[in-house]
Amino acid sequence: MIPLIVNTSDPMAKVRVMTTKDYSTKTLKTLHTAGVLHVEESEELKPVDKEAIERERRKVGELLTSINDILAYIPKGERVSLKEDVEVIYTRPFDEVDSEVRLLCTKLDNMHQRVAKLDNEFKELIELTRYLGPLEQKADIRLQDLNFSGSYLFSRVFVFPNELFETVYPKLREYILEDLVGTVENEAVLYVIAKAEYRETIESTVMDGGGKILPVPAEALPLKEFLDIAGGKVHSLEEELAKLHAEIESKTRENLEKLVLFREALSAETERLAVLAKACEAKYVTLIEGWIPESNVEATISELKENIGYVFVDTRKPEQAEEPPTKMKNATAVKPFEVVVNLFGTPKYREWDPTPITAYFFAIFFGIMLGDVVYAALLMLFAYRGLRLLVDDPETEGFKLFQRIIYISGGVALVIGMLTGSYLGNFYQFFGIESLALAEKIQVMFSDPVKFIVFSLIIGLVHVNIAHVLALI
């Protein structure tokens, strides 16, 4: 929405740039070119600045891990042709890259979680069938009897490498009431029943000796029946995992080029941040701060990353205690009148910008006071041709704004002159022309001193009361 009465200043962001001291001069030039205001160079980094770099490194690392997890479903050695330059991705603001990467990863996140869950279940079943198979051949045991804990007795299944079993087993025999031993390739499976008072001793001896406790589910199933069911589950899980892997690979291929681009750009960012982190430790990093309109943040970050080899850019909104510089943002038609406002003082960052209403009333007052077609036309012609002869550089922004003020105000004066029929006053009456006014009522009002004063007072009251209302807001 275009502000018609008053405006606010352009929202500003605090930009903090950390780079090696070799690049400090180039960074300052880039910031000035990008329009950053109140640029200051700090002598030494604070701990919070170093932490900001480390925090950024962690974020980049998390994104890289997410991308690599997805790309793991693509066969190694496959070539990907990139149609876009990695630097294009690198120069984009990190928040923008972060949101896009997370969006891509989130699409596959549920499928990844499902795969991880099924994969864990698959590995657990494979482990159980592998180690419980030899025990099933030696005795008819129920599954819950393999992992029992009572007040007097307990039972467990332990797994050892064969060479360690020979060493540990003699230490356990004095505590064991009953046991079964089976072998699987180069591993030994030991099922023991012992008194509950020796449970901690037996388990710690096993763990210290390089063995492990097999987590057996407490189900009231015969071991043979459980192994048969587990075998069927393993087969169905293999099929489901294969389908999920194929689906993930298919969806990953749809975004393969983007993912590879992001991975390369984030890898480059990690290296740059690592260099800055090392430079921080050696106190070879400089901090440069300034203010920039929020609308220019992305372009400025891109320009910095494009021009500076090692750079970290951090932006934030101004705090309440801070007073950012004011950058006015008015429509093209009223922008020239910022010059008039600045003559009385630039509004503070959180104050109203009266440029729009100043533009209207300045142009109207000027037009009423001049109010002549010929004078207005001559003034506009002088602004176009003659004014540039009175200044050193007619190409400056200030001169062009002043020139446009004269055009606009002169245009209003020309219109009022046409409405009231004023051409060098009433010069046309010397030629027998009674009136050239386009609006007789306006001519009559401007010709009558009392009516003109009343009209001027009304405009003045409106102008002043608008100011009072704004002061209360």
List 179's β-bridge partners, or say none. Answer: 192
What are the pLDDT tens digits along the chain (473 aa)? Answer: 467 788 888 899 988 888 888 888 888 888 888 888 888 877 666 666 777 878 888 888 888 888 887 777 777 766 766 666 666 666 667 777 778 788 777 767 777 788 888 889 999 889 888 888 888 888 888 888 888 999 999 999 999 998 898 889 899 988 999 999 988 888 999 999 999 999 999 999 999 989 999 998 888 888 888 888 888 898 998 888 888 888 877 877 777 777 788 888 888 788 877 877 777 766 777 888 889 998 888 888 888 888 887 888 888 888 888 889 988 888 888 999 998 888 888 888 888 888 998 898 899 989 989 989 999 999 999 999 888 888 888 888 888 999 999 999 999 999 999 998 888 888 877 877 777 888 888 888 888 888 888 888 888 888 888 888 877 77
Give CA–CA dist 196/247, Å, rounded. Answer: 50
- Check residue 366 and give its pLDDT: 92
* Torsion 361-367-370-371 (CA) sign: negative
Buried b / exposed e over 433-467, threshold 16 CB at 10 Å, is eeebbeeeeebeebeeeeeeeeeeeeeeeeeeeee
Token code pair at residue 372: 């002549």
CA 446 to chain centre: 59
- Check residue 86 and give its pLDDT: 62
What SS3 string covers the chain? CCCCCCECCCCEEEEEEEEEHHHHHHHHHHHHHCCCEEEEEECCCCHHHHHHHHHHHHHHHHHHHHHHHHHCCCCCCCCCCCCCCHHHHHCCCHHHHHHHHHHHHHHHHHHHHHHHHHHHHHHHHHHHHHHHHHHHCCCCCEHHHHCCECCCEEEEEEEEEHHHHHHHHHHHHHHEEEEEEEEECCEEEEEEEEEHHHHHHHHHHHHHCCCEECCCCCCCCEHHHHHHHHHHHHHHHHHHHHHHHHHHHHHHHHCHHHHHHHHHHHHHHHHHHHHHHHHHHCCCEEEEEEEEEHHHHHHHHHHHHHHCCCEEEEEECCCCCCCCCCCCCCCCCCHHHHHHHHHHCCCCCCCCECHHHHHHHHHHHHHHHHCCHHHHHHHHHHHHHHHHHHCCCCCCHHHHHHHHHHHHHHHHHHHHHHHHCCECCEHHHHHCCCCCCCCHHHHHHHHCHHHHHHHHHHHHHHHHHHHHHHHHC
Q: Are 199 and 159 in contact (CB under 8 A)?
A: no
Token code pair at residue 37: 């205001």
What domains are there in the chain, each with its CATH number? 125-225 (3.30.70.2750), 335-472 (no CATH)
- Check residue 81 and give its pLDDT: 66
Task: Estimate the crossing angle of helix 47-71 against helix 256-281, to 10 degrees.
Answer: 150
Give CA–CA dist 74/249, Å, rounded. Answer: 6
Q: Are 20 and 321 in contact (CB under 8 A)?
A: no
231 CB-near residues (< 8 Å, 6+ apart):
129
Q: Which amino acid is at 74?
A: I
